[in-house]
């Protein structure tokens, strides 16, 4: 194992212990200052963030875009604090810090026995949402498709946090679809975070913020194949020490009989749903990735 991974893990443990020892307001203030300094120093993530914001908000000023970008960095830092804090939370603590809106409607949907695809954007502290779902749906334990972190020590720690209440993590690889179908046949929900760039060999080009980008066809393919509903589910911070999970009504999916065209149409619906959530909470989305690379609508690479 790389020595760098051990150093990062020790730093993670030490930082976690220090954050838990500090009052929340103090740790949030320090994290916000560090996040703003990171944004001010620049780097590729800041460049990518601003490039994406320019595409999403072409009429906004550079100052307005920078303000959204800074806030997104601060929210990311605050979410990291809450994940560390939540490692020590009891069930009652978790319920006190996170509410769910729309849970009964999801229960009724799951009672039909088909399961549900939870379309989850990288908004807010989504790890807390998965943990609370495991607590509130003990008879329908959720699953989530996840990309592992590079550092195996930190990854093991986060996997333990995410699955601590019984949730199942499905690694993102070739057998993902088979395992997803098994979860759905069991009548359980599965979270799919498909709002980031997908390789051109696996994605379809559909609009997001009015610009076509390579988007994962997985949710649409699984939904059409297994006849399961797609439900938008996301987490947002609604107070410095509180979060809310919102569960929407299922997307209205219409089919034409042309499977390729239907997959593209449903994927476009998914992106439209993502865009609606992101525009509602732009300061809480992870903007720092190359979402629009290889777009046929852009004459030049926006990330150069």
Q: Which residue has the tokens 């809480």?
A: 284
pLDDT of residue 49: 98
Copy the structure tokens of residue 201.
């060999």
Question: Contact at 8 Å (CB) between 114 and 187?
Answer: yes
pLDDT in tens, 108-148: 999 999 999 999 999 999 999 999 999 999 999 999 998 77
Question: Is the separation of the CB atoms in 31 and 82 below 8 Å?
Answer: no
Residue ranges of the chain with pLDDT lower than 50? none
- Name the percent of the chain in helix, strand, coil, to the closest 5: 50, 15, 30
In this prediction, residue 160 carries a pLDDT of 85
Q: What pLDDT, on the 0 to 100 scale, is given for residue 147?
A: 79
Contacts 24+ apart (CB under 8 A), 247-254: 247/100, 247/101, 247/102, 247/103, 247/105, 247/106, 247/118, 248/102, 248/273, 249/105, 250/109, 250/116, 251/119, 253/223, 253/224, 253/229
Q: Model's pTM, two decimal places? A: 0.92
């Amino acid at each position: 194992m790389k020595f760098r991974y051990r150093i990062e893990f020790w730093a993670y443990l030490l930082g976690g212990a220090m954050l838990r020892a500090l009052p929340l307001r103090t740790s949030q203030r320090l994290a916000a200052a560090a996040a703003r300094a990171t944004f001010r120093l620049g780097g590729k993530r800041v460049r990518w963030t601003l490039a994406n914001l320019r595409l999403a908000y072409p009429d906004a000023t550079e100052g307005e875009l920078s303000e959204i970008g800074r806030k997104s960095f601060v929210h990311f830092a605050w979410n990291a604090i809450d994940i560390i804090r939540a490692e020590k939370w009891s069930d009652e603590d978790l319920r006190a810090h996170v509410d769910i809106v729309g849970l009964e409607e999801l229960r009724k949907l799951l009672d039909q026995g088909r399961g549900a695809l939870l379309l989850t954007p990288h908004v807010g502290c989504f790890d807390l949402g998965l943990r609370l779902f495991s607590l509130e749906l003990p008879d329908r334990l959720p699953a989530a498709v996840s990309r592992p972190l590079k550092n195996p020590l930190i990854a093991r720690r986060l996997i333990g946090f995410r699955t601590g209440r019984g949730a199942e993590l499905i690694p993102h690889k070739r057998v993902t679809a088979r395992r997803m179908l098994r979860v759905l046949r069991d009548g359980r929900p599965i979270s799919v975070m498909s709002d980031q760039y997908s390789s051109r060999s696996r994605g379809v080009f559909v609009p997001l913020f009015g610009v076509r980008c390579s988007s994962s066809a997985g949710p649409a393919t699984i939904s059409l194949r297994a006849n399961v509903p797609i439900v938008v589910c996301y987490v947002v911070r609604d107070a410095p020490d509180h979060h809310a999970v919102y569960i929407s009504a299922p997307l209205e999916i219409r089919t034409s009989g042309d499977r390729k065209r239907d997959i593209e149409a449903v994927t476009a619906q998914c992106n439209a749903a993502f865009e609606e959530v992101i525009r509602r909470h732009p300061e809480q989305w992870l903007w720092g990735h190359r979402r629009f690379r290889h777009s046929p609508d852009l004459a030049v690479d926006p990330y150069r």
